[in-house]
Structure 1
Amino acid sequence: MQHLGTGIGWRPEIADAVERMPGIDWVEAVAENVCPGHLPESLVRLRERGVTVVPHGVSLGLGGAERPDAGRLTALAERAEALGSPLVTEHIAFVRAGGALTASERLEAGHLLPVPRTRDALDVLCENIRITQDALPVPLAVENIAALISWPGEEMTEGQFLYELVDRTGVRLLIDVANLHTNHVNRGEDPAKALDELPVEAIAYVHVAGGFEREGVWHDSHAHAVPPAVLDILADLASRVRPPGVLLERDENFPEPAELKRELRAIRETVEKGAPTEKGGVAATAASSDAASEASADAPSPSPDEAEEAQETQETQDASQQAGTEPARQRLALAQAALLSALVAGTPVPEGFDRARLAVQARALASKRADVVAKVAPELPEILAGTYRTAFLAYTHGHPMTDGYRHDAMAFAEYLLLDGRLEDADVHRKVRDWWLERSGPAPLSRRPAARLARATRRVLLRR
């Protein structure tokens, strides 16, 4: 497993600081924010200096009931190749539900939601990971996520779930110690027990991040300093195995570079202090890996006939397995659709869930929608001034997200225009102009007059 060292999450807001920061061995970039044909100049410069760049996906929904979307897999593979990455990472989560499997409207969470730790969910996840591994040019590692809510009727602990996942697929793990802390506070799960049960030798690298607690709920914000409790879990993990890489995540509310350097220093020191002895830790892991490599090298190569027979057998097994997961996919689809609908569309809470905790999660999802739309469409908060957030949160009631955040911004503007909620004529005009500029396939200035007229009628302009 490649040694990565100490890294930081690359974000445009701190790109200059990251380039100037000493001791950065590698960075991680959100895959969906990188265009293979137009890489950010900062990432290009980092790569030229020998800094490894790993694409970190957030939209596959590997834990969802549907098989991974071919277009998303292709896009992820393209980013790995464009960045020359040694691996790709994604999450053990579902991000959408509904659609054909449930004959209902497809809903988007806009967030990483936990999968139930059940046999059905594990079977589906294993197949989805195999499909993803086959589509990628480099190895895949998957991340444990933070959660506010627990599924009723779970059959495994997190450690057991991850152990079996690795055993069945060979996938690598991205262990987020901040998420282990979050699940300790929110779900009463013991981080030490999770580390006892999961296969630490499969760890590709580790995430470290901050958050905050409010009313007994820990929010994994990635916008606050790393707390001592998270560093304690990192030390526990480092005492068991030397992680190939450790990375500091920060997504917003970025501090001064000096503060980021301080956190990186604390992370390095924690790993060094917790490093296992050679006899029982790193050396043992390395010896196991070397033995496996030697055994593989000594194994005789199969003949062409044997290789063809093995391929046919594997294809038969894959087809049988795919057919075998269909009932599990159907059951998982219904469960996830019911949960997501309760969170974003106000439908009844499914039996067995904590209603109070689901209400907290629903508010958090609506708040995140408002924040992200404000980033992808910054003109709207500027036009609406102090009324933006109140108006957007009102819009989320009865208007679940069915596509990405950019589509959500357009739908919000239509909602304001069509429902007559903009009493100020100047604000109405500015929202109208913003919507018209973005509603067609070309900018307003290059659109034919007839198309402009049709777009105008669509929003029922009355002013």
Structure 2
Amino acid sequence: MVRLGTGIGWRPEIADAVERMRGIDWVEAVAENVCPGHLPASLLRLRERGVTVIPHGVSLGLGDAERPDAGRLTALAERAEALGSPLVTEHIAFVRAGGPLTASARLEAGHLLPVPRTRDALDVLCENVRIAQAALPVPLAVENIAALVAWPGEEMTEGQFLYELADRTGVRLLVDVANLHTNHVNRGEDPAKALAELPLEALAYVHVAGGFERDGVWHDSHAHPVPRPVLDVLTDLASRVSPPGVLLERDDNFPEPAELERELGAIREAVELGSALRGTTVPTDADVEVAVAAVSTTACADVSVADGAAAGAAGRTPERTPPGEATRQRLGLAQTALLSALVAGTPVPEGFDRVRLGVQARALASKRADVVAKVAPELPLILGSGYRAAFVAYAQGHPMHAGYRQDALDFAAQLLRDGRPGAGGARRELHRWWLDRSGPAPRRSSRLGLGLGRAGRSLIRR
């Protein structure tokens, strides 16, 4: 087990501040935002000072019905090696659906969506994790996610699902206490019960982040201060086990460095309080009930958690019959139906909360608008105050299928096809922007540098 200490999520916007912070033992960088051959100078300086850097993946899709993409795994492995990392992390989530497995159009969520806690989904997830473990040069840890919606017909609690995942694969766990709080507000799930069910001996490290509540829904924004209830969950966890590492995540709306340091101080205090309580708390009836259930489950399992962890440390995983293609297809069809309802406006699958799905769909469209504005900042400048409304309207009928950069090009192309913006300088500038980035050989230096699609060629012919 790697002892990490106190860390913070490294982001370019706060790179200078992170370098100046005292008491930072390690940082975590979003894997997809780091190029192995051109590591940011800030990360190189941190490494030279002995600060550990861990790549945190967000797009692998371990919970997808399809097997992990070999190219994505290779890229994640390259980043771990370039950074000299002791482990890599990813999420227990699905991020895309459709394609050949379901004979339907491939869809991308641009977001981490929950997998159903069913035997089918667990079987697929376990095999996907094993594939990833075999392709990576260092151990893998996987993170629980926040969710607005719950799948109907789930067969396990989150704690039971994660226990079996670790039991069968030996994978380590990245426990996000902010996500446990989010699921408490949004899905009525008790964080204490989840912690009591988790195999905390498999804990790699802990995430802490902020969010906000609106109309009874908790939004895991990573752009707001860490609230007291999240710190309380962290204290509960630290009262059960000494966390190898604890990290503050902040992805947007960055405060002054002094405020980040105050949050890190509050996190340290929450861990210290939990450590002081360790061994002095009396188990509740619920804890005893959970422990008995866990023992019963383990007695019936093929492999114990300890055996699974030992197998993972030895570079192998416990033998288990892999899921058949029929299992993957069942899961793929269910995920495609849900994702299509969220991003393409198709009917809501039976058993889902329609109101919550509406909230999630609007959140996904808003997130797409935000990310496209970052990867193509010229678009909001060209379209002015009408950018967001235009993009959200576009997103409702045009699912993302090839990432955010292509999404920006597709959005611009659709506006031009629709005769928007109206005649004038804005339309000419949008057309020029699109041509510069869509041609097989862009006429000017391009932020996006993307190939020309069929829709783009038709625009040029016009």
**TM-score, normalised via structure 1 length:** 0.88
CA-to-aligned-CA distance 1:218-270 (integer Å, 9 cap, x gap): 00000000000000000000000010000000000000000000000000111
- Measured in 2, the distance between the counterparts of 1:82 and 1:440 equals 33
- Measured in 1, the distance between the counterparts of 2:125 and 2:162 equals 11
**SS of the counterpart of 2:38?**
coil
On the 8 A contact 2:413/2:455 being kept in 1, the answer is no
CA-to-aligned-CA distance 1:142-180 (integer Å, 9 cap, x gap): 000000000000000000000000000000000000000
CA-to-aligned-CA distance 1:321-379 (integer Å, 9 cap, x gap): 34x43221111000000000000000000000000000000000000000000000000
- Measured in 2, the distance between the counterparts of 1:83 and 1:239 equals 32
1:125 aligned partner:
125
2:194 aligned partner:
194
- Measured in 2, the distance between the counterparts of 1:455 and 1:129 equals 37
Runs of 4+ in 1 over 2 A off after TM superposition: 276-281, 440-443, 454-458
* 1:444 and 2:443 aligned: yes
CA-to-aligned-CA distance 1:84-113 (integer Å, 9 cap, x gap): 000000000000000011100000000000
1:166 aligned partner:
166
On the 8 A contact 1:62/1:68 being kept in 2, the answer is yes
CA-to-aligned-CA distance 1:257-312 (integer Å, 9 cap, x gap): 0000000000011101111678789xxxxxxxxxx89xx8xxxx9xxxxxxxxx9x
Q: Which amino acid is 1:197 matched to? A: E
- Measured in 2, the distance between the counterparts of 1:154 and 1:456 equals 43
1:52 aligned partner:
52
Following superposition, the deviation at residue 422 of structure 1 comes to 1.2
* 1:35 and 2:44 aligned: no
1:152 aligned partner:
152
- Measured in 2, the distance between the counterparts of 1:399 and 1:110 equals 13
Following superposition, the deviation at residue 425 of structure 1 comes to 1.6
**TM-score, normalised via structure 2 length:** 0.89
2:233 aligned partner:
233
- In structure 1, list runs of 5 or more residues that go unmatched: 282-291, 302-310
**SS of the counterpart of 2:8?**
strand
1:272 aligned partner:
272
On the 8 A contact 2:241/2:278 being kept in 1, the answer is no
On the 8 A contact 1:240/1:276 being kept in 2, the answer is no
On the 8 A contact 1:174/1:203 being kept in 2, the answer is yes
CA-to-aligned-CA distance 1:400-457 (integer Å, 9 cap, x gap): 001100000000010111111210421111111111111134330499xxx99x9986
| Cα 1:457/1:222, change in 2 over 3 Å | closer
Q: Which amino acid is 2:387 matched to? A: Y
- Measured in 1, the distance between the counterparts of 2:365 and 2:424 equals 28
On the 8 A contact 1:439/1:455 being kept in 2, the answer is no
- Measured in 2, the distance between the counterparts of 1:233 and 1:446 equals 48
Q: Which amino acid is 1:201 matched to? A: E
* 1:405 and 2:412 aligned: no
* 1:369 and 2:368 aligned: yes
**SS of the counterpart of 2:439?**
coil
| Cα 1:350/1:426, change in 2 over 3 Å | same
| Cα 1:456/1:176, change in 2 over 3 Å | closer
- Measured in 2, the distance between the counterparts of 1:364 and 1:42 equals 32
| Cα 1:119/1:430, change in 2 over 3 Å | same
On the 8 A contact 1:29/1:56 being kept in 2, the answer is yes
Moved more, 68-77 or 396-405: 396-405
1:304 aligned partner:
none
1:329 aligned partner:
328
- Measured in 2, the distance between the counterparts of 1:456 and 1:362 equals 27
- In structure 2, list runs of 5 or more residues that go unmatched: 282-305
On the 8 A contact 1:200/1:241 being kept in 2, the answer is yes
1:338-417 paired onto structure 2 within 5 Å: 338-417=337-416
| Cα 1:242/1:382, change in 2 over 3 Å | same
Following superposition, the deviation at residue 380 of structure 1 comes to 0.3
1:285 aligned partner:
none
CA-to-aligned-CA distance 1:34-78 (integer Å, 9 cap, x gap): 000000000000000000000000000000100000000000000
1:3 aligned partner:
3
On the 8 A contact 1:436/1:455 being kept in 2, the answer is no
1:224 aligned partner:
224
**SS of the counterpart of 1:430?**
helix
On the 8 A contact 1:242/1:276 being kept in 2, the answer is no
CA-to-aligned-CA distance 1:180-226 (integer Å, 9 cap, x gap): 00000000000000000010111100000000000000000000000
Q: How many residues align?
A: 427
- Measured in 2, the distance between the counterparts of 1:230 and 1:399 equals 36
On the 8 A contact 1:107/1:400 being kept in 2, the answer is yes
The sequence identity of aligned pairs, in percent, is: 78
1:63 aligned partner:
63
- Measured in 2, the distance between the counterparts of 1:457 and 1:25 equals 51
- Measured in 1, the distance between the counterparts of 2:444 and 2:213 equals 48
RMSD: 2.3
Q: Which amino acid is 1:62 matched to? A: L
Q: Which amino acid is 1:182 matched to? A: T
* 1:208 and 2:246 aligned: no
**SS of the counterpart of 1:373?**
helix
1:36-115 paired onto structure 2 within 5 Å: 36-115=36-115
